[in-house]
Amino acid sequence: DTAVSQTPKYLVTQMGNDKSIKCEQNLGHDTMYWYKQDSKKFLKIMFSYNNKELIINETVPNRFSPKSPDKAHLNLHINSLELGDSAVYFCASSQWGTSGGTDTQYFGPGTRLTVL
Amino acid sequence: QQPVQSPQAVILREGEDAVINCSSSKALYSVHWYRQKHGEAPVFLMILLKGGEQKGHEKISASFNEKKQQSSLYLTASQLSYSGTYFCGTASSARQLTFGSGTQLTVLP
């Protein structure tokens, strides 16, 4: 059973195109995240949703738009793709921490986006 | 602000021990440790909570000094499978994880 799944695994596209990445979790968690990992392996939070509400929106270009249709799904749509968007995008989920801070996060397999 | 990890890289022989450190300038609620193998997703190893609670794998040990906002991950009797990049993630009142730049661990036979 896959806990956190993402599609597609690989995405190769031209500059200026629009693309979407989908994420689903079957862990019953109420919080989902998008991370970007660049070529230097730096993992940076982009967005976080708790019970379908946006709670974290880091300094990300507004070409990136997340959507959470329900607690188990968080999609990422990217408009007008640029070369600098090439990276691995990870989805993750967790349960909202009751003791402050976030509980354990479980990561999806990642989507490797290459913009040509 | 991003936590600082040290060392950036370490090479070991099987059976040797290693310590990876993580420090933050912010007051923390928790510290999380993940391992990522090449081409794979980060995998949870351990979470250390303010107040002393820990959750994680039995064979992994770590410490969290709340006063100094520092954590250390202890890898003992390393195995080939321990190779990978280790990330610490710190959680403050913002309820999000901010990851360090990673420590690349290589275990040689």
| pLDDT at B8 (0 to 100) | 96
| pLDDT at A98 (0 to 100) | 57
| pLDDT at A101 (0 to 100) | 56
- Confidence bin at B21 (pLDDT 50/70/90): very high
H helix runs in chain A, sequence order: none
Average pLDDT for residues B49-59, to the nearest whole number?
A: 77
Asked whether the beta carbons of B3 and B23 are under 8 A apart, the reply is yes
| pLDDT at B57 (0 to 100) | 72
Of A94, A90, A65, nearest to A5 by C-alpha is A90
Pairing of strands A19-25, A73-78: antiparallel
Report how far residue B91's alpha carbon sits from residue A104's, in angstroms, rounded to the nearest whole number.
Answer: 11
Chain A: residue nearest B27 by CA?
Answer: A101
Smallest Cβ distance to B42: which of A45, A102, A107? Answer: A107
| pLDDT at A79 (0 to 100) | 96
pLDDT digits (tens, 9 = 90+) for A13-36: 999 999 999 999 999 998 899 999
Q: Which residues pair with B35 in a beta bridge?
A: B43, B86
Pairing of strands A4-7, A19-25: antiparallel
Task: Name the residue type at position A55.
Answer: I
- Confidence bin at B93 (pLDDT 50/70/90): low
Average pLDDT for residues B31-40, to the nearest whole number?
A: 94
| pLDDT at A92 (0 to 100) | 94
Asked whether the beta carbons of B76 and A17 are under 8 A apart, the reply is no
Chain B: residue nearest A109 by CA?
Answer: B41
User: Above pLDDT 90, what percent of chain A?
Assistant: 68
Residue carrying the six token digits 């939070």: A45
Report how far residue A62's alpha carbon sits from residue B50's, in angstroms, rounded to the nearest whole number.
Answer: 35
A44 with B99: Cβ contact below 8 A: yes
Instruction: Find the range with the poorest average confidence among A21-30, A77-86, B10-19, B49-58.
Output: B49-58
| pLDDT at A97 (0 to 100) | 64
pLDDT digits (tens, 9 = 90+) for A59-91: 889 999 999 999 999 999 999 999 999 999 999
